[in-house]
Amino acid sequence: MKDVIAAEILTKEDVTALIIQSKKQAGLTWEGIAEKIGMSPVWTHSACMGMNAFAPEKAAALCALLELPEGAAEVLEESPTKVWAQTVPTDPCIYRFYEIVGVYGPTLKALIHEEFGDGIMSAIDFDMKVTRIPNSKGDRVEVTMSGKYLAYNAW
């Protein structure tokens, strides 16, 4: 994999494509990759998709694991530009939920597909709970969502 892209400058999109290709070739899951580099699957996928920046040691571990070309680690360490095409409300609380889906939506989809197969989480057969979690650095908001898995039908 290291000689795939020689001296050309890599973009986040290039590195994402190389990661996906290497992941498939190695027969790895996001859960497996995350475990091997010591990160959570959600964070790992999001950063691999260019939506978060890896710490240098994690970028190096991922590049070694997936045999990515020289220069890939530096790209993985770059701060991302988090842009998506949807128009979002301006209310700060509601906007943050759009931000979460904009940044982590592809990650959630990938992890759901990996765990359950090709399908969706229902928003009809669905439960959600909001809980305050006391924390010395400032209370945390915990949002727990649970939706029935619905596999796509083939016909």
Q: Which residues are catalytically annotated?
A: 96, 99, 122
Angle at CA of residue 112, ends 145 and 12, nearest 5°: 110
User: 56, 32 in Cβ contact below 8 A?
Assistant: no
**From the CA atom positions of the chain, what is the Rg in Å?**
18
Residue 75 CB partners (closer than 8 Å, separation 6+): 10, 11, 12, 14, 15
Closest by Cα among 70, 76, 103 to 88: 103
H helices of the chain, where? 12-26, 30-37, 41-48, 56-66, 72-77, 92-116
